[in-house]
């Protein structure tokens, strides 16, 4: 019973965190610098993306933390690390490898940070934590792929036109919020059982 309630709350937290987080990202990144040059990005464009990604990562972390804090001991650095690693991974994916690696890398980083924040980290334990972090990172990355695919299929089915480079910020906000809903639902569903195992272990130990 507890595990089922937790998993539902976990999925909802990720939906809310990703939708609000990337809505804020779109508002700042596309509101401050528009239109975007996707082929030859400017320094101001990279700066606007960074300025938008930092709070987006923090919002995702805080939404997760609100659910997890009732049952597990998270590291104090969790929100800061999530914000920084999502930002760095997204920028690397966007400007080095090109989309969709921005979201794939950002959520992979988010999953790895989450795993390290949930595990006891100390002498001799880092080696055990790394494989687990890789697994959680892959689950989050797979969730972002499924979410983006679902958004694309839904847009095609319902005739929705997603935000394109050079369009107004409102359309980008709508696109990012919808993408956050789909991605959040996918990563939440794919990672719920794994995260619940950490939570059940912590709960049993207290």
Residue-level pLDDT at 71: 82
Radius of gyration of the chain from its Cα atoms, rounded to whole angstroms:
17
pLDDT < 50 stretches in the chain: 204-206
Residue 200: phi and psi, rounded to 5, are -65, -40
Structure tokens given for 148: 């983006």
Structure tokens given for 27: 């508002």
SS3 of residue 42 by DSSP:
coil
Distance separating alpha carbons of residues 32 and 166, to the nearest angstrom: 12
**Could you tell me the residue range of the domain that residue 200 belongs to?**
2-205
**Please, are residues 108 and 140 in contact by the beta-carbon 8 Å criterion?**
yes
Residue-level pLDDT at 30: 85
Distance separating alpha carbons of residues 79 and 76, to the nearest angstrom: 8
**Please, are residues 183 and 18 in contact by the beta-carbon 8 Å criterion?**
yes
Residue-level pLDDT at 155: 93
Q: How many domains does the chain have?
A: 1
Distance separating alpha carbons of residues 117 and 125, to the nearest angstrom: 13
Residue-level pLDDT at 87: 98
Contacts of 96 (CB under 8 A, 6+ apart): none
Residue-level pLDDT at 2: 64
Contacts of 10 (CB under 8 A, 6+ apart): 64, 67, 188, 191, 192, 195, 196
Residue-level pLDDT at 116: 92
**Please, are residues 195 and 114 in contact by the beta-carbon 8 Å criterion?**
yes
- How far is C-alpha 47 from the geometric centre of its chain's CA atoms? 20
Residue-level pLDDT at 163: 73
Residue-level pLDDT at 165: 61
Q: pTM (2 decimals)?
A: 0.91
């Amino acid at each position: 019973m507890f595990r089922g309630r937790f998993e539902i709350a976990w999925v909802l937290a990720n939906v809310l965190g990703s939708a609000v987080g990337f809505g804020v990202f779109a508002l700042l990144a596309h509101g401050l610098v528009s239109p975007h040059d996707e082929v030859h990005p400017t320094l101001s464009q990279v700066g606007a993306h960074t300025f938008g990604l930092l709070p987006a990562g923090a919002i995702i972390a805080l939404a997760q933390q609100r659910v997890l804090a009732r049952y597990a001991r998270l590291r104090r650095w969790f929100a800061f690390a999530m914000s920084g690693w999502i930002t760095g991974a997204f920028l690397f994916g966007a400007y080095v490898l090109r989309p969709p690696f921005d979201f794939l890398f950002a959520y992979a980083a988010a999953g790895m940070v989450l795993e390290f924040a949930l595990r006891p980290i100390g002498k001799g334990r880092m080696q055990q934590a790394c494989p687990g972090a890789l697994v959680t990172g892959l689950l989050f990355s797979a969730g972002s792929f499924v979410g983006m695919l679902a958004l694309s299929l839904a847009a095609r089915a319902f005739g929705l036109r997603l935000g394109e480079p050079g369009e107004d910020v409102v359309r980008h906000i709508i696109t990012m919020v919808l993408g956050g809903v789909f991605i959040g639902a996918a990563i939440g569903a794919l990672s719920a059982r794994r995260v619940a195992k950490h939570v059940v272990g912590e709960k049993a130990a207290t």
